[in-house]
Amino acid sequence: MEAKPTSDRHVPVLLQRCVNLLAPGIEAARQSGTTPVIIDATLGMGGHSEAILNQFDDVLLIGLDRDTQALELASKRLASFGDRFKPVHTTYDRIDEALAEAGAQTLSGILFDLGVSSLQLDERDRGFAYSYDAPLDMRMNQSAGIDAAELLNTVEERELIQIIRVYGEERFANRIAAAIIKRREETPFTRTKELSDVIIAAVPPHTKGGHPAKRTFQAIRIAVNEELAILEDAIPNALDRLHVGGRLVAMSYHSLEDQIVKRHLRERSKSKAPVGLPIEPEELKATFTMVTKGTEAPSAEEIAENSRAASAKLRAAERIREDIKPQADYPRSHRL
């Protein structure tokens, strides 16, 4: 059977909203006489990148992905844009290297569409899904790192409990971890069905919250790919490289991802001046402003058309001034 076109295999979430949020950063670059540079930090199958390149004919778009299969598919899809599209095989915490490789220095905008991609979920042999049997892999970059089977077969029980409880927000983490340890002592894990069956047996029946294995599979995937650690570095790196007027747009599908994005954006959007200081020094003023009020969510219509959009949370911020190195130490408080 012939494979579906890439554009038919994935429906980008909040597509036009993301493009519109990035537009002011592109215009700011134009006004300064420089080429607008956008990074799609989670290229996937290239849906968001294609929309950006179509709408803005002067944009240089750098697409990042650690998944070589995604890079190959997106590169074919975006080949007609020629040198305006530059794919880079890397994780999104390595923005400086990606910019250097593309011959750029500053960013007009960066888009993060976090979490597992539709491609990874739909490719059965990747082992991301609990709904069908496959090799227990879960690596976004299959050429590096340990896979999920190795993690499950070697990790200590205490660490496994932490992974499942924290990354999966799973209240039955102790029971699930104990069941995994017991099973691997008899036979090492190699398949997703083996893991799913153990989890189903460990979780009390009739428990609410969807499939019993959903949260544990999510937790193992996050641990295997070090997703949260990479994101912790990626957001501040991206903010540092945006020029004035440039924007960061991030979509999260998991509360821990959203908390990281929210924390970094709020830190940059608040004054560092001590409470009570009569004059706010320029170097202590906020360098960013929030564009979105809280989080934005997909419409009911979009969720009806694309169920994977249901948990999406969108945040965006814009750089309003350059960082200025402090010239002096200021007291924590000042009373007149």
Binding site residue list for S-adenosyl-L-methionine: 46-48, 65, 92, 113, 120
Provide the sign of the torsion angle of the four alpha carbons 85, 90, 95, 100, taken in this order: negative
**Can you say which residues are annotated as belonging to the binding site?**
46-48, 65, 92, 113, 120
Single-letter amino acid, residue 183 = R
Longest CA span, the chain: 78
**98-106, long-range: CB < 8 A, 24+ apart:** 98/39, 98/62, 98/64, 99/37, 99/39, 99/62, 99/241, 102/37, 102/60, 102/62, 104/35, 104/37, 104/60, 104/62, 105/241, 106/34, 106/37, 106/241, 106/242, 106/243, 106/246
